[in-house]
Structure formats: structure tokens, C-alpha cells
A and B are shown apart, each in its own frame.
Chain A
Amino acid sequence: MQEIPPAPELTPRPGLAGKPAGRFAAKFAFTVCRFVLAVVVSVFFARWWCGRGAEAVMKGDLSSQTAMAEGAAHWIAAESPSGAFSTGSDVFDGEWLFGTYVMSSLGLVQSAWEHPELRERNAPLVREAVAKILSRGVKSFDARSWGEDPIDSLPAGRGDHAAYLGYLNLVLACQHLIDPASPTAALHESISQVLATRLEASPIGLLQTYPGECYPLDNAAGIASLALRDRSAARPVSPSVLRWMEAFSSRWRDPKTGLLIQAVDWKSGRPVDHARGSGTSLAAYFFSFADAALSRRLHEAAVAELSRSFCGFTAMREYPSGIDGRGDIDSGPLLAGLSISSTGFSLAGCRQQGDAAGFTARWRLVHLMGVPARKDGASHFIVGGRLGDAILFAMSTAVPASVLDRELPTRP
């Protein structure tokens, strides 16, 4: 019988395992690798999860636009008591309620332009939203500030009512294109004439939003509405409107950054606030109804000066680099200078300019912080509430110039 040889004596293998310092280095390297892997997986998971619906929204997918339209319909039908918002300021509460109906209407009109089959559903909703805008409760924020009702005082009122009349008139100009039989056609003409007359009379070519307060952004909505009115009638945009729009290419923009100045002195036109992201991106959106080139220039300036990207998420600054401004009711709270409003408004420019990557990167952030959810077929951004839903609906359905041109009659 063969004898089994004794097992050799085990000795420690030379190398890393045998040296305490080498073992520590290996463990440390392994831990660092695990940590890096964990961070990478987290970031890519969030990036993938938050960007899932972006492509469909960018392409104008019918089901996503229908769900957003249902979300808007929910808020239009909802009660709008004076306590709907609680910002601590009656004026801001009123502005937000007004803004909800304005942005919802614009979103509904845009989705009807892109999907004509939605026209039948959306046109009555826009009429309902316009009726709410014209209701005494919604008008009251402006009426209280001026001491006169913005509609009842037409055409001889002493106030400019730049925001109320400007935003409303833009809605009416857009509504006219999907609902020519709308009963507000006469009101649209009346407001247009008043805005044009008051702009002509203004020493700086801008109107006041409230007594002593003048914001180029609010005027952008009104001036765009006048240009769209001319385009809808298949006539050339009037020279006065072109002149006022030209000032948005030169006078009302910061020469260094190209961004829109947020507020100016109503008598001299001297800037009284910085050029800012929220105003620039929203003005770019408003001018898309009037002048595609001006809209593109404003959007490009905002992207060049304010865009900040990290791992596939893009946010927009409210102020250009080097200016340490505070957050306010327009920008929302700022985190390291980044603004949720500015980011949300810039979605429109990205979509209109065909910047799919920019749109997706912004959408990821909006998704992460906005918390989208569906309820009864309607999509909502939980953190945005009614105003956030309305703004994101309007911005993410903003149409490129080619779609708007298709809606406009051709000149004889």
C-alpha cells in the first residue's frame, strides 16, 4: 500500500497579503473603487429615471400633451378662492392665479396647434380660462394696485396695466387662431388698440405694470401680442411694433451678456435691476410668437451666460457670473445661484430651437425637483402646484416657428 506523503508545511505567500502596508493599500483602493462605483450608479440611475419622458415631450408626443392638457383642465375647473395661494402678498397671490390661467391657456393653444385633433377639446377650456382671467376675483390684484379695473376702464383708463393687459392679450391673440368664433375677438381688438396707443405715448416705449414699476418682460408679452395680431391678419407687422421689438435687441438688453434687464425706471428707462435669467428666458418664449430671430437671440444669450450642467442635469443661473443677487418672487429661492424658474422657462427655448440634448438635461432637473405624478389621466408636478403645472405645460409645448407659421394665414 502506497504511503501518503505528509502535507508540506504551510508558509505565508510572499506578496501583498504578507505585508500589512500593502494589505491596507489594497483595501483602501478597493473601498475607493466601491465608493466611486456607488456614486456613478446613483448618478446614472437618477439621470436615466428623470430623463425617461423627456424625448416624448420634446417630440410633442400626443399622449404626454393630452395628459398635461388634462392637468390644466383640472386646475381651470378647480375653485379659485382668494386663498388659493399664500405667498404672504395679495398682489403675488393674484399674479400667480392669473399666471396659472394664462399659462394653461397658452399650453392648450399650443397643443392644439401641434395636434389639431385636440382643438375641439382645448378650445372650450381656453374659453373657460379666459372667463376666469376676466373674473373680478382674478382681476383684483391689478385693479387694487391701479385703483381701477383694467377692463372696465378701457379705453380711457389712467393706468397702463402692462402685465394684466399684455398677458391677457397674448392669450386672446393665440386663442383667436384655434377658436376664431370666440366671443372675445372684440375685446382683443380693444386691448390691442389701447396697448398700442399707450406704448406710443410712453416716453420710453414701455408701460408700467403697477404705478411706478416698469418691467420689460411684461411689455414683451403685450408687444408680442400686437405682432401676432398683425401676423394673424396676414398683414405686415406695424412699424411701431417693430420699433418696440427692436429695443429688446438693443436698449433693454445688457450689452455685456445680452440678457434682458429685469426692471427699469419708468420715466428714464434707466435699469433699476440686473439682467436676469427668468426674465430673459420667458421673454424669449413670448417673442417666439412675434419674431423667431429675436427669440433665438435671447435664448442663446441665456444659455451662454447662465447654463450650468452636471452629470446630465442642467440648471440655469438667475444672475450672470459675478453678480450675487438674491432670490425673489420671480426667480424662486436660489441654490448656489441656480433658479428653478429660470430653468423651467428655458425649456421653451430649447424645444423651439430643436435643442433636444438641452431640453432633456433641463427636463431631468425639472423631473427630479418637480415630482411628476399622474392622477385620473392628468399629469401634475406635485411640487409645482397649479402654477408649476401651468408653466411647465406652456414651456414644454412651446412650438417651433415652423408650427406657428403653419397656423398663420399667408399674405395675399
Chain B
Amino acid sequence: MKAWFVRHRPLFAKIALLLVLHEVIVRTLAGRDVIAVLLAPNPNTPFHWAVLAGLLLVTRLLLLLVVPGFLVWRFTQPAGKNG
């Protein structure tokens, strides 16, 4: 088990990084009116809030909709291809 985990460490590290990035953005945006950034973007909206709000949704969709499927794809590869 440990050997298997170590072998796939780079993949798990990337997923962990994505999780950390998502959590950092959530904590940064908590208590701010992100709805104004997303629903009614306008020139007065600070650019970094718009970028963070966009990143938040991208990381969330990746974590919920892409990562689980990717793991299945990766670990059902025929022997010899996934190490």
C-alpha cells in the first residue's frame, strides 16, 4: 500500500495542491460579496476578485467533476502503463 502510494505521489501531490488552492480561495473570499463580481461584472469590479472568483469555480469543478473520473481512468490503465 505504502509503495503504491509512493509510486503515485506526484499525482496525489497535484490533487492535494488543487485542494489547498481551493480552500485558500474559499477562505479569502468568505465574507465578501462575490455575487457582485460574478453576476454583474463591471469596470468598477477589482480585477483580482474577478480572477479569484473564476479560479474558485474552476478548481471546484475540477475537484468534483474531473478528478474522481481522472483517478478511475488513471488506475484502470493496463498494467505496465501506470507504473
Question: A residues bordering B, Cβ < 8 Å?
Answer: 30, 34-35, 37-39, 41-43, 45-46, 49-50, 74, 78, 84-88, 92, 96, 329, 332-333, 340, 368-369, 371, 373, 375, 380, 382-388
Contacts and interface: CB of A to CB of B under 8 A. Distances in A.
Interface in B14-66: 26, 29-36, 38-40, 42-45, 53, 56-57, 60-61, 64-66
Interface residues of B, number: 34
Contact of B33 (A34, A92, A375, A385): A385
A269 B49 CA distance: 42
Contact of A373 (B30, B40, B44, B71): B30
Indicate the member of B30, B53, B71 with the most A CB atoms within 10 Å: B30
B79 interface: no
A86 B56 contact: no
A383 B36 contact: no
18 contacts: A34-B73, A34-B77, A38-B73, A41-B69, A41-B72, A74-B31, A85-B36, A86-B45, A92-B40, A96-B36, A333-B38, A369-B57, A371-B57, A373-B30, A375-B30, A383-B34, A383-B35, A384-B35
Given A34-B76, A42-B65, A371-B60, A333 B39 contact: yes
A371 B26 contact: yes
Contacts of A386: 33, 35
Given A371-B60, A383-B56, A38 B34 contact: no
Nearest to A369: B57
Given A46-B64, A382-B30, A383-B34, A86 B69 contact: no
A88 to B, nearest CB: 3
Contact of A388 (B26, B35, B68, B71): B35
**Nearest 5 pairs of A and B residues by beta carbon:** A42-B69, A88-B42, A385-B33, A38-B69, A385-B35
Given A45-B64, A380-B31, 7 more contacts: A34-B72, A42-B69, A85-B33, A85-B36, A96-B36, A382-B34, A385-B34
B43 to A, nearest CB: 7
B70 interface: yes
Interface of B is mostly: helix
A388 B76 CA distance: 41
A310 to B, nearest CB: 12
Contacts of B66: 42
Contacts of B69: 38-39, 41-42, 45
A360 B1 CA distance: 37
A42 B61 CA distance: 10
B35 A368 contact: no
Contacts of B32: 385
A237 to B, nearest CB: 36
B40 A87 contact: yes
B36 A87 contact: yes
A84 B43 CA distance: 16
B45 to A, nearest CB: 6
